[in-house]
Amino acid sequence: MILNKLEFLLMNNPVRAFIQDKVEAKRLRKLSSLPAGKTILEIGCGNGTGTKLIQKYFRPKQIHALDLDPRMIERARRKNKATSITFEVGDAAKLRFPNNHFDAVVDFGIIHHIPNWQDCLKELKRVLKPGGELLLEDLSIDTFNTLPGKFYRKILAHPYEEMYTQEEFIRHLERLRFKVVGQKTYHSLGFLRYFVVIARQGTTAGGKKLQ
């Protein structure tokens, strides 16, 4: 799904980059057990800010970063020339990569943009190696049922009719036989409700609440 003009501006501002660095990326790094030197896929990489943070906090051998919006990929390529990073236009629900290819997949808030989000999760499972980690920070329809969320509906173009609840999202991961290591819901200053999920390729469902 291509961002509308307002969303494009929101995703390309220094405040968003600051929050990603000081809050989101640090939180994922703290919760993840992924060692350095791995191969990581980032979906919905946008302008490459999150990609730089993956490089900073996870020290991977290789990052493949994709986004559906060619404008974002152009910006990302201009910002980061590292040979260990590959940026490309791509659909997270229809990945070109082979099975069991990545050690981890990182999502900084893109899956709620995808109408066929079930296909996306199925694809992420396919390309992850056995034991590979899924590191997700995202929104659900619960976000847009709050009072601020009802206002966001008026200005943000999301596939609200197809969007999952957080509970549905977790259940679907478990149906795909991910092991949900943990999950936590955050309410950012009361204005934004979002959740974090850490899951691994495995056969045991369930998980604990993150502290």
Distance, CA of 133 to chain centre: 12
CB contact set of 138 (below 8 Å; sequence gap of 6+): 107, 109, 110, 111, 112, 169, 194, 195, 197
Summarize the confidence of residues 176-193 as an average pLDDT.
Answer: 88
Look up tokens 């992420």; give the residue.
Answer: 124
| 43 in Cβ contact with 66 (< 8 Å) | yes
Structure tokens that stand for 72 in this block: 């974002």
Closest CA to 41 of 101, 81, 1: 101
Closest CA to 141 of 112, 175, 117: 112
Burial class (CB in 10 A: 0-12, 13-18, 19+), 192: middle
Q: Is the pLDDT of residue 130 over 90?
A: yes
pLDDT in tens, 189-203: 678 899 999 999 974
Distances, alpha carbon 194 to alpha carbons 184, 187, 203, in Å: 9, 7, 26
pTM: 0.88
Q: For residue 208, what pLDDT is reported?
A: 43
Bridge partners of residue 65, in order along the sequence: 42, 87
CB contact set of 172 (below 8 Å; sequence gap of 6+): 118, 121, 164
Q: How confident is the model at residue 131 (pLDDT cuts 50, 70, 90)?
A: very high
Q: For residue 16, what pLDDT is reported?
A: 73
Q: What single-letter amino acid sits at 163? A: M
Q: For the chain, what's the residue count?
A: 211
Domain boundaries, the chain: 5-200
Q: Is the pLDDT of residue 83 over 70?
A: yes
Look up tokens 């709620």; give the residue.
Answer: 112
Topology adopted by domain 5-200: Rossmann fold (3.40.50)
pLDDT in tens, 92-118: 999 999 999 999 999 999 999 999 999
Phi-psi region of 9 (alpha: psi -120 to 50; beta: other; left: phi over 0): alpha
* Residue 208: other Cβ atoms inside 10 A: 10
